[in-house]
C-alpha cells in the first residue's frame, strides 16, 4: 500500500513522496458491465492506475464517483464495489473518497463509474520530445484482447472463443522497466481506445518522426486475429486495458524486454518496431510479404462503450 | 492561479506546496443543465472547489470527465465547457486533464460531469473531534437558494420568483476565516444535498455533542421560505452550492463574522447557534415562539438531481 490517507469531511489528505503529484481521470461506461476477465469496476481502477503508470508515476490513491440508474440491482452494485476493492488491492492503490448520484430509469444504463487518481512522479523525462531515430518500440503483450472480448460478450458476433480481457495494472511492468532502464525509456502509453495504431500515430505526429512496425512481430492471439478478419478491422485499432507501449533506446531493447518478461504476466512482451527519421508523422506496418501499409489513427468509433 | 501544471500523455503533473495533498471528487447530474445563477459546468467546478476549501485546503487543480448522450447539441456542450472555464478562472484553479465518453440516446440525460480536485492542505486541525461545547455555529449566507432555484427552473412549482442559485467558490471566505482565526476554526462543511440540517446532524453525531440553532438567526430569503412553506419542506434541508458552515471558538465568533463579511459576497454571514454538551447527537432548532424542534438528517431524496 502506497501513501497514507486521512479521512476528512469532504476531501481526503494523502501523503506523497515529494511536492509534485501526477493527476488523471477517466469515465467508464463499458457494456456489458461484466465480461470474461473483468468488469466495469475492475476497468475503472486499472484504467486510471495505468494512466498514472505510463506517465511515469507510482499510483498512490484513487477517488471514484458512481452514476446509478434507478432500479439497478443492488447485487450488481455490490459486485462492482467488490471488483473495485479487489482491483485496488491488487494494484496497491488506496481508495480515499467517492460520490454517488442516482438518476431515473432511462437516464443512464445501469452504472457509470468515473475514477480519478494521483501518483508520485518518478521524475523521468518521458514524452515524444525525448524520442530519437533508432529507438525501439516495445509492447508488453498480446494486443486486442479487451476489445474483442467485449465484442464477443455483447453477442454481436456469432462466434464463441476462449478469450479474456487483459484488464490489469501495468504498474509492475512499468516499475521493472523504468528501474532497469532509467532515462533510456523515452515514452510510454497504454493503447486503450483506438489501440496501438492510434497511440503510435500520435507519437509519430508529436515526435515528428516516422514509426515502422513489423506486423509479424506484433503479438496477436489467433482468436483476436480471426475475429478482426471477420469484422474487417485491424487488431492494431482494437482497445487494450492491460498493455502498454514503450519507446526505449536501441541498445537497451534487450534489457527492456528482459525486465518486463521477468514480471509475472510479462512473458508476451515483444519488440515490434523502430523509430525512423524518414516519413515523419507516419506509422508504417511492414507485412510478412515484404509490402508496407500506412497505419492510421482510428477515425470514428466502430466499437462504442468499449471501456 | 495556484500550482504549475505540465501536460503529459495520460496524466498531468502538478506542483504543490508540500508533500501532502487534499483529494476529492463529485459527479454532477443537475437538471435542468442551466438555471438562474449557474449551470452544470459551473456547479461541477464550484462543488469540487468547495469540498477542498471546507476541508481546509487551497484548491490547486481539477480534472473533469464528461459523459455525453449521443445527439447532445454541440452548442450546449460548448456553453458548459465555457462555464467550466469561467468558473475555474474565478476560483483560481487550473484544469489539467479530462476524458469524454459518449453513450447512446436514452443512456444518459444530455450531459453528466464528474470533477476531481486536488489542493494544498493548510495544515489545520479540522473535524468533529475538535469541536467543544460552547463553540459557535456560523453560516456564510442565506440558505436554500440553490435547491429552490432548481425546483423553480424545472417548472414543477407554479411560482415565479426572483431567485438565483448561490453557486460560487467559498474559498475566498474560507481563506479569510482561517487566516483570521487559525486553530479557533474547529470544523467546516458545505451544506449541499441534505442542506444545513444534514451537515449539522452529522456533526452532532460524530462529535457526540448537541447542536442548538436559533431559527430566527438562520438567514433565509423570503422567496425561499415561501416556496418551502408551499412544498412543506424545511429550508434547513434544502441544498446550497455556495455557502459553508463553520464551528468556531465562542470568543472568536465576532472575528469570524467580520472576516467573512469583509469578503465581497460575505455580508450575509450569521452566527446561528451553539454547541452544547446536552443532548449529544441531536440538533435542536429553537423557534421564535420559544419552542424547540428536533432537526433530522434528510431521509430519502425529495429533490433528486439537485446537483
Kindly tell me if the per-residue pLDDT of A2 is higher than 60.
no
Neighbouring-strand partners of residue A119: A22, A59
Task: Tell me if chain B has a CB within 8 Å of the CB of A16.
Answer: yes
CB contact under 8 A, B104 and A304: yes
Beta-carbon separation of B98 and A25 below 8 A: yes
Q: How far apart are CA A165 and CA A149, in angstroms?
A: 6
State the ipTM, two decimals.
Answer: 0.93
A204 interaction partners in chain B (CB closer than 8 Å): none
Q: B27 vs A4, which has greater pLDDT?
A: B27
Answer whether A9's CB lies under 8 Å from B127's CB. Answer: yes
Q: Give the pLDDT score at A156.
A: 76
Q: What is the pLDDT of residue B198?
A: 96
A18-27 tens-digit pLDDT: 999 999 999 9
Contact present, A136 and A181 (Cβ < 8 Å): no
Q: With an 8 Å Cβ cutoff, are A55 and B10 in contact?
A: yes
Give A-chain residues touching B54 at CB under 8 angstroms: 9-10
Residues 6+ apart with CB under 8 A from B133: B209, B275, B276, B277
Check: CB of residue B205 under 8 Å from CB of residue B129: no
CATH entry, A18-121, from 1.10.3720.10, 3.30.1330.10, 3.60.15.10, 3.40.50.300: 3.30.1330.10
Dist CA A105 CA A288 (whole Å): 51
Mean pLDDT computed over every residue of chain A = 94
What is the per-residue pLDDT for A134?
98
Q: How far apart are CA B74 and CA B70, in angstroms?
A: 10
**Residues of chain A with C-beta less than 8 angstroms from the C-beta of B108:** 107-109, 112
Are the C-beta atoms of residues B181 and B257 closer than 8 Å to each other?
no
The pLDDT, as a whole number, for residue A157 is: 76
Q: Which residues of A touch B112 (CB under 8 A)?
A: 67, 101, 103, 108, 112
Answer yes or no: are the C-beta atoms of B116 and B62 closer than 8 Å: yes
Question: How much is the pLDDT for B186?
Answer: 98
Q: Classify strands B283-286 and B210-214 as parallel, antiparallel or unpaired.
A: parallel
Q: Is B124 on the interface with A (CB under 8 A)?
A: no
By the 8 A CB rule, do A80 and A33 touch? yes
Q: Quick one: CATH architecture of B128-295?
A: Alpha-Beta Complex (3.90)
Residue contact A20–B28, C-beta within 8 A: no
CB B126 to CB A51 under 8 A? Answer: no
CA proximity to A171, closest of A306, A283, A54, A257: A54
Categorize the per-residue pLDDT at A9 as very low, low, confident or very high, splitting at 50, 70 and 90: low
Predicted confidence at residue B5, as pLDDT, reads: 46
Q: B202-230 in b/e burial notation, b at 16+ Cβ within 10 A? A: bbbbebebbbbbbbeebbbbebbeebbee
A298: region left, alpha or beta (phi > 0 left; psi from -120 to 50 alpha): beta
Residue extent(s) of CATH 3.30.1330.10 domains in chain B: 18-121
- Taken as a whole, chain B contains a residue count of 307
Q: Kindly state whether B107 is in contact with chain A, defined as any CB-CB distance less than 8 angstroms.
A: yes
Binned at pLDDT 50, 70 and 90, residue A4 comes out as very low
**CATH 3.90.650.10 domain extents, chain B:** 128-295
Instruction: Provide, rounded to the nearest whole percent, the portion of chain A with pLDDT above 90.
Output: 89
A216 within 8 A of A234, measured Cβ to Cβ: no
Cβ–Cβ below 8 Å for A26 and B54: no
Residues from chain B contacting residue A24 (CB–CB below 8 Å): 10-12, 63, 97
Residues in chain B where the model's pLDDT stays below 50:
1-8
Query: Residue B87 has which C-alpha cell?
Result: 468558473
Q: Specify the pLDDT at position A292.
A: 94
Among A293, A286, A288, A248, residue whose Cα is nearest residue A269: A248
Q: Which of B6, B68, B101, B189 to mutate to test the interface with A (most CBs of A within 10 A)?
A: B101
More confident: A174 or A3: A174
The shortest CB-CB distance from B29 to any of A17, A101, A109 is to: A101
Amino acid at each position: 500500500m502506497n501513501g497514507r490517507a486521512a479521512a476528512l469531511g469532504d476531501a481526503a489528505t494523502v501523503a506523497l513522496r515529494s511536492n509534485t503529484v501526477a493527476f488523471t481521470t477517466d469515465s467508464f461506461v463499458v457494456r456489458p458491465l461484466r465480461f470474461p476477465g473483468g468488469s466495469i469496476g475492475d476497468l475503472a481502477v486499472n484504467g486510471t492506475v495505468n494512466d498514472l503508470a505510463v506517465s511515469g508515476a507510482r499510483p498512490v490513491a484513487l477517488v471514484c464517483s458512481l452514476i446509478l440508474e434507478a432500479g439497478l440491482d443492488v447485487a450488481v452494485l455490490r459486485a462492482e464495489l467488490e471488483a473495485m476493492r479487489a482491483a485496488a488491492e491488487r494494484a496497491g492503490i488506496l481508495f480515499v473518497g467517492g460520490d454517488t448520484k442516482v438518476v431515473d430509469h432511462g437516464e443512464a444504463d445501469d452504472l457509470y463509474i468515473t475514477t480519478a487518481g494521483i501518483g508520485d512522479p518518478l521524475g523521468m523525462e518521458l514524452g515524444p520530445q525525448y524520442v530519437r531515430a533508432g529507438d525501439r518500440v516495445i509492447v508488453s503483450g498480446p494486443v486486442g484482447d479487451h476489445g474483442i472480448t467485449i465484442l464477443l460478450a455483447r453477442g454481436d458476433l456469432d462466434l464463441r472463443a476462449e478469450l479474456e480481457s487483459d484488464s490489469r495494472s501495468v504498474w509492475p511492468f512499468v516499475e521493472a522497466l523504468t528501474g532497469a532502464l532509467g532515462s533510456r525509456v523515452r515514452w510510454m502509453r497504454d493503447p486503450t481506445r483506438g489501440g496501438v495504431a492510434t497511440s503510435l500515430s500520435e507519437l509519430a505526429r508529436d515526435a515528428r518522426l516516422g514509426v515502422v512496425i513489423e506486423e509479424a512481430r506484433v503479438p496477436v492471439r489467433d482468436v483476436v486475429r480471426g475475429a478482426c478478419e471477420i469484422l474487417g478491422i485491424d487488431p492494431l485499432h482494437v482497445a487494450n486495458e492491460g498493455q502498454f507501449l514503450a519507446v526505449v533506446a536501441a541498445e537497451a531493447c534487450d534489457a527492456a524486454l528482459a525486465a518486463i518478461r521477468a514480471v509475472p504476466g510479462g512473458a508476451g512482451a515483444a519488440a515490434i518496431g523502430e523509430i525512423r527519421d524518414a516519413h515523419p508523422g507516419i506509422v508504417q506496418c511492414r507485412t510478412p510479404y515484404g509490402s508496407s501499409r500506412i497505419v492510421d489513427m482510428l477515425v470514428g468509433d466502430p466499437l462504442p462503450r468499449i471501456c
